Every structure is written in structure tokens, then in C-alpha cells.
Amino acid sequence: MIVEIIVTVGIIAAAGYILFKNLKKSVSGKCNCGSCSSSCPKYNSPKQK
């Protein structure tokens, strides 16, 4: 029973870390897609000033 709780907490912590990291990149204006190639939608959107 305790092992399942530990595994669940680990999965939730990993998901939270990944989500926070992606949100942080997105807010700072960096590309947060997996490959960051020239076909990334972040590069195709017009720059706002």
C-alpha cells in the first residue's frame, strides 16, 4: 500500500515539474515544443512589439 502511494507521488511530482518547466519556457517566449525545428509554430507566429 505504501509503495503505491510513493510511486503515485513520484509520478505527480514529475508531471508537475515538466508542466512547470514548459509553462516557464512558454511565458518567456521560448519554443516549448519537443523538437524546436524551423517548423515550430512559435517561429511562424508574427512577432509582437
Q: Is residue 49 part of a domain?
A: no
Q: Is residue 21 part of a domain?
A: yes
pTM beyond 0.85: the answer is no
pLDDT in tens, 7-48: 999 999 999 999 998 888 777 777 666 666 555 655 555 655
Smallest Cα–Cα separation from 39: which of 31, 48, 47? Answer: 31
Domain with 35 in it? 2-44
Indicate the number of domains in the chain.
1
Q: Is residue 10 part of a domain?
A: yes
The torsion angle over the Cα atoms of residues 37, 40, 46 and 49, rounded to 10 degrees, is -70
